[in-house]
């Protein structure tokens, strides 16, 4: 548990650094998202045992990183068009070594993972003054639920939630994650009201509570979905990059599912109003 807590603290410090230096180095968020997306795609390909097939792995990693580094929708469209052409050309040339099912999984994951993580950049761009507050809320909406579920499940867990997919998850842990997530979201709003930045805006607490609730549901969905992928690949973790957590994908699976929904909520129901 100590290793898990330490690694979690390091991740939070990394997130805080990206948030704090956004004014002086706004491109830092793009770089962080690009690195995470590229590593996540690589871990997935390694789990599928296709990472050594360079005609798949290299274009996939480059596409995942490239989508996160660009500002232009046309460039993103071009990246995916070229990427699809390359991997299908690889399928035709190397059809004895690779199957269409593997190509389909790679194509879907290289599309989903970078675009979902790129929602963090879209969130930041919703507001010039408070965009990074939105980013912070989105990350915490995924990780807060994970942390709450972990501790609630450890101390109070009795009834299994999905024993065939994730034996350690419990109903009590799920409830603890929901409660923790809502409390964290409301606390973020309360702390924000104490800062100078909040003088010209009002915090809409019911929207924060909604984000906490939706974040918990999507966090569990992401966690269970990638747990199912790990089971199908017969692995325990996607990697060992983050001690106590596993690989990058083990830590960001909930973020991949949560952030796009937080973006939708904030775009339609703003957290802050003038």
* Distance, C-alpha 50 to centroid of its chain: 23
pLDDT at 2: 47
Among 66, 42, 67, CA closest to 56: 42
pTM: 0.86
pLDDT tens figures, 69-94: 887 889 999 999 999 999 999 889 98
Q: Can you tell me whether residue 232 is helix, strand or coil?
A: helix
Distance CA 121, CA 33 (A): 8
The Cα angle at residue 255 between residues 268 and 6, in degrees rounded to 5? 135
pLDDT at 184: 94
CA atoms within a 13 Å half-sphere pointing along the CA-CB vector of 77:
3
Among 214, 149, 155, CA closest to 176: 149
pLDDT at 239: 64
pLDDT at 17: 56
Phi and psi at residue 246, to the nearest 5°: 105, -135
Query: Which two tokens mark 202?
Result: 């009002």
pLDDT tens figures, 227-251: 888 888 888 777 665 555 567 888 8
| pLDDT averaged over 10-residue windows placed end to end, the chain, 274 residues | 49 61 73 89 88 90 92 91 93 87 90 93 88 90 87 81 82 91 93 72 92 94 88 76 67 91 94 82
pLDDT at 242: 55
pLDDT at 6: 46
pLDDT at 22: 65
CA distances in angstroms from 60 to 6, 70, 73, 272, listed in the order given: 31, 16, 19, 38
Query: Cα(first)–Cα(last) distance of the chain, in Å?
Result: 43
Distance CA 94, CA 114 (A): 26
């Amino acid at each position: 548990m100590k290793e898990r807590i330490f690694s979690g603290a390091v991740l939070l410090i990394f997130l805080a650094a990206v948030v704090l230096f956004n004014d002086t180095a706004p491109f830092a968020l793009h770089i962080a998202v690009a690195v995470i997306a590229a590593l996540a795609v690589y871990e997935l390909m390694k789990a599928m045992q296709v990472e050594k097939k360079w005609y798949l792995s290299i274009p996939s990693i480059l596409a995942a990183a490239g989508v996160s580094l660009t500002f232009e929708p046309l460039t993103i469209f071009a990246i995916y068009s070229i990427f699809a052409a390359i991997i299908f050309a690889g399928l035709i040339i190397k059809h004895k070594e690779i199957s269409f099912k593997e190509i389909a999984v790679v194509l879907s994951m290289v599309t989903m993972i970078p675009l979902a993580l790129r929602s963090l950049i879209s969130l930041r761009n919703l507001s010039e003054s408070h965009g990074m507050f939105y980013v912070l809320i989105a990350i915490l909406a995924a990780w807060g639920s994970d942390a709450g579920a972990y501790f609630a499940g450890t101390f109070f867990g009795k009834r299994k939630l999905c024993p065939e997919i994730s034996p350690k998850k419990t109903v009590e842990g799920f409830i603890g994650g929901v409660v923790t997530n809502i409390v964290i979201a409301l606390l973020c709003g309360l702390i924000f009201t104490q800062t100078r930045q909040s003088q010209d805006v009002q915090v809409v607490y019911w929207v924060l509570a909604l984000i906490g609730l939706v974040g918990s549901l999507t966090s569990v969905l992401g966690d269970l979905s990638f747990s199912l992928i790990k089971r199908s690949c017969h692995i325990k973790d996607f990697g060992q990059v983050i001690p106590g957590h596993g690989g990058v994908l083990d830590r960001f699976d909930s973020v991949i599912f949560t952030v796009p929904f937080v973006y939708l909520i904030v775009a339609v129901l703003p957290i802050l109003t003038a």
